Chains A and B, each alone.
Chain A
């Protein structure tokens, strides 16, 4: 099946710094990728939809200036958490739809801890 990778798998940063998370589709092209945030023991909450060649679409309540998304190519989307605070600590997961009409393949996730 299709493979989606994320880097890094975990990161610890200090409050006020920025962190970049990469999401790559390894064996297929993805003009769309999704970014989710998952707090402990909770479900996946969609943050934004990343579109190659155009601006990302953010869900209500998600600050686009804080969570910068860049879909640089057909296989790479990045999420940058700017001026991170402890409340941004979470598990960030990306996904990409398959080339067919069904299916959504998830990355392994990135655990962000802001101290």
Chain B
């Protein structure tokens, strides 16, 4: 089955700097890669996703890149703000079908220092 690794496990950056979180996956059949942000005591919220037919996707300060050959994808947050502090999870899914579950990475705890 699919296995998703995520690095780093913790990341501290100064406000205004960029943050990069990297994930690797094992199943070459995976073709959908969402990123979730989880604040303390809350459920995960989708922040950006990418499909395998796209190499990069950007939404304001957040971008995701995908290297399907190397089986890794990364989350980039620019101009970080204190409210970006949270745990971020990457995930991979082998099928784009209704009801398909995701395999999640172990998470990265991001701290943005004012």
The answer to the question of B101 belonging to the interface, with a C-beta cut-off of 8 Å to chain A, is: yes
Q: Separation in Å of the B99 CB from the closest CB of chain A?
A: 4
Q: When the two chains form their complex, are residues B105 and A43 in contact, meaning their CB atoms are under 8 A apart?
A: yes
| A102-B96, A109-B43 known; A43+B106 contact, CB < 8 A | yes
A93-113: CB near B (< 8 Å → 1, else 0) gives 101010101111111110100
In angstroms, Cα B9 to Cα A41, docked, is 10
Pair B43/A93 contact, Cβ less than 8 Å: yes
Name B residues whose Cβ lies closer than 8 Å to a Cβ of A: 32, 34, 36, 41-46, 49, 51, 89, 96-102, 104-107, 109
Our pick among B36, B44, B51, B98 for the contact of A97 (Cβ within 8 Å) is: B98
B66 to chain A, nearest CB (A): 15
Residues on B with beta carbons closer than 8 Å to the beta carbon of A74: none
Closest chain-B Cβ to A57's Cβ sits at a distance in Å of 10
Query: Does A31 count as interface, using CB distance less than 8 angstroms?
Result: yes
Residues of B within 8 A of A103 (CB): 34, 46, 49
Question: Which residues of chain A have C-beta atoms less than 8 A from B41's C-beta?
Answer: 109, 111
CA distance A32 to B109 in the complex (A): 30
Q: Are A107 and B97 interface neighbours, CB within 8 A? A: no
Pairwise interchain contact B100-A109, C-beta atoms closer than 8 A: no
- Tell whether, in the assembled complex, residue A106 and residue B96 are in contact, meaning their CB atoms are under 8 Å apart: no
A34 at the interface (CB under 8 A from B): yes
Residue contact B104 to A97, C-beta cutoff 8 Å: no
- Asked if A44 lies at the interface with its beta carbon under 8 angstroms from chain B, I say yes
Proximity string of chain A (36-52) to chain B, C-beta cutoff 8 Å, 1 when within and 0 when not: 00000111101001000
* A44 to B102 alpha-carbon distance, docked (Å): 10
CB-defined A-B contacts under 8 Å, sample of 26: A32-B98, A32-B99, A42-B107, A43-B104, A43-B106, A46-B101, A49-B101, A93-B43, A93-B44, A95-B43, A97-B98, A97-B99, A99-B98, A101-B96, A102-B32, A102-B49, A102-B51, A102-B96, A103-B34, A103-B49, A104-B34, A104-B102, A106-B45, A108-B42, A109-B42, A111-B41
Most interface-central of B51, B96, B104 (chain A CB within 10 A): B104
